[in-house]
Structures are given as structure tokens and as C-alpha cells.
Amino acid sequence: MKKLYFLGAAANYSRKQRLAHTFAIGTKNDVEDLKDFLRKKYDGRAIITKNGRSALALALKHNFEKGSRIIVNGFTCYAVYEAIKAAGMEPVFVDINKEDLNFDLNVLKNTKADGIIVQNSLGNPVDIVAIEKWAKENNAKIVEDLAHCAGAKYADGREVGTVGVATALSFGKDKSIDTISGGAVIFRDKIPKIADPRLRPRLSDHLRERFYPMFGAMSRGLTHIHLGGAFMKFLVATHQVQRSADNRLETNRKISKFEAKLALRQLETLENEGPIRNFFLVKDREEVLKKLREAGYYFNGFWYEKPVSPARYYEKVGFPEESCPVAVEVAQKIINVPTFYTEEQLAPALKIINKYVEKN
């Protein structure tokens, strides 16, 4: 039986793609070329960072005063919360709607803050005109987070990343640009006089990022003899694979040059064909996931199992569940389906999901 996995695009590379990633050779010129590409594309100064959360922290730090209140989607990842706190600011969680997992505009219009992070959840664009109206009325700034949505366009035709005072990108696992790690920030409204990151990548990080696609392929192969999960747990326990949420925020750490080369290659050929994930809200999610596994679909990495994911960091956030009930409900019911598989490959999975679906 053919088995399909939710390990991110890089972990599902073909043999040719794995070799191209593992043996890619990057240079300083590749980093400069990536900066130049982003500068032209998003019309501002680009700084290449170790990861997406570092980029977002820089975007906030150099556009807001310490103590500023920053609105964030009530259904998000810990990296966003971490970036806000690292910048010395306070997150203000706003509840979402079930249609696209973006802000509930009725809640947003009654919320006061100094800024807002627009994440375009799972690649579904927000109503940017309404967001801009709110920002103007509240004298607030917009920062765009393109982790899920690089290349997408808003309903009015503008490309995501071209609207706010700053744009942050992530090149991490499961993102729209996936080189395992890395990120970038583009400043437009206020260009800070700061140096590019100076610290070299750690050798341990560099090796993990280079060999992750190979480890992903090995894990998939071992699943056929029921050892894939144990093998991946071993890799995580021995620090040969790092879970995405554990990637440290370091604003002065450089990206690996080979990742800059791969990121530029993906950006140059980027074609947005819709959301990065298709999502469904289902009854009895555990039962659905069990039936999917029996059919050969390992989709347990479902983004997100808590309103602020992953679950192991949830208690640190102090999430206001009483003011974000929709986000809490969605986190209990959501199943995400990878979009890097074909409709034909996914047809049996969708047949199972649709028997339990409440909303998609």
C-alpha cells in the first residue's frame, strides 16, 4: 500500500531533489543575490536571518516602541508569540472566523493596539482593505508575515508582502518557501541603520538543515516495516533533527549560504496556486486520523492542535481562551491536507474526511 505523509515538502522530495538539496553549494554572492531579489520584489531593505521568528522580531523591534500592543491571529504558532515577546511587546490575540481562519473583523474593529501582524492563515489572504481601514482608524502599523503565503495575492490584486511597513518571511519546514530553516525581513516605511547578522551558522544547525530531506526519506521508508516513527524520535532525541518550534530565535545569526541559494531558486520560480494547506473541520478528529492511517495517510501533523501550537509550548503563552472561542474550537477539529500531493493521490483521503466534515 502506498503511504503518504505530512512531513513538509522537503521531507517528500524526489531522489533528485534530495541530492540537489544535500549537495547544494552556496556562496556569499548567493546571500547577496537573495537580498537583492527581495529588495526589488518587496521594495525595501532586505536582511537575511537565521529563521522566520528572528525576521519577525526584527520587523517589530524597529517599527514599534517597547511595550507596544501587537494584534496577532488567535490561531497561530508559538514562533509568532516568541517574536513579539523577544521584541519587548505584548501580544493581543484576536479571534478568527471558520471560513479562512483569519481575523474575525467584527472582533478586530473593537480592538485597540499599536500594530497588527497579518499572517494570511494557511495561505488564505485576509480582507486587506478592511485591515488597512482598521489600521488607519487606530493609527496602527501593519506587519506582514509571509510564512504561509509567499506569492499569494489579496482580493484587490496586490501581492502579499507589499502592503505593510515591513515584511517577514520564513524558509522553514512546511512553509511556502521551504529550505528547512532561514528567513528574511524587508523594511519599507522605516529603514533601520542596523548591521546584517554577523554570527556564522552553527555547524550542528547547518548539518541538520542539509540532511533533513535525506532523514525524511529514510523515515518514510522505514514506516513500511513500522519503524519510521521510532527512527524519527531517535533523530530528534539525538539532535540530528530539530522540531520547527525549537529553532532558536537569534537576530544576529546568519543563514547557511546553501539555504540562501535554495531559497532564491524557489522564490524565482514561485507560483502561488492557492493555500499552502487545505483544511477541514471534522467531528471526532482522532477517529478520522485513525482511519486515514489505516488507508496509508499519515496526516497527524495537522497545524495546529492548540490555538497557539505546538501543544508543548501552549501553557507558556497564557492564551485567552474565553475571548477566542472559535480558535479553541477550530484547534479541536481541524485536519490539514498537504497540497503537494495530487488530487488523485488525495482522493481516498478526502472520501474519508468528507464523512466526518463539519466545514471546509
At residue 351, the 3 state secondary structure works out as: helix
pLDDT at 131: 97
Cα 151 to Cα 35, 99, 241, 271, 275, distances in angstroms: 17, 21, 28, 6, 10
Domain spans in the chain, listed from the N-terminal domain onward = 23-187, 277-359
- What lies within 8 Å, CB to CB, of 196 at 6+ separation is 47, 48, 254
pLDDT at 60: 97
The low-confidence residues of the chain, meaning pLDDT below 50, are none
pTM: 0.92
pLDDT at 259: 96
At residue 244, the 3 state secondary structure works out as: helix
pLDDT at 299: 78
Q: What is the CATH number of domain 23-187?
A: 3.40.640.10
- CA neighbor of 216 nearest in space, from 301, 93, 152, 291: 301
